[in-house]
Amino acid sequence: MADVWPRDHYDSVIDLTISVTLVGEEPFTCKPTIGTLMALERQYKLESGITAIQTMKLEYLAWLAWESRRHSGEVVPTWEKFRDSIEDMDFDADSSPLADED
């Protein structure tokens, strides 16, 4: 059987944390996964999700937060309603969005 990395390994590969406050809700944080980053590439027809994170376009960060929350199993509004209800958003990222492997 091939070696398989545990799921938490994939979750920690991207060194990006996004904090979002939606109107009338408590703030939440999320850490996009590799799968979420690949979905961003497909959604916006990008050559590189890594480059998109490095340029920190607000729409990409908001979409990553929406998609991450959606994939966590929470019920979320449509993208447009989510985007329009963002009251505050912040992010913390290394200069390279891929975390160093130990």
Distance CA 1, CA 72 (A): 29
What is the pLDDT at residue 94? 62
Can you tell me the distance from the alpha carbon of 33 to that of 23, in angstroms, rounded to the nearest whole number?
A: 25
Domain boundaries along the sequence of the chain: 12-98
Counting every residue written for the chain, the total comes to 102
Residue 2 has pLDDT above 70, yes or no: no
Q: What is the pLDDT of residue 3?
A: 44
pLDDT score, position 62? 94
pLDDT in tens, 18-67: 999 999 999 999 988 888 888 988 998 888 877 777 777 889 899 999 99
Q: What count of other Cβ atoms lies within 10 Å of the Cβ of residue 102? A: 3
Sign, CA torsion 18/58/48/94: negative
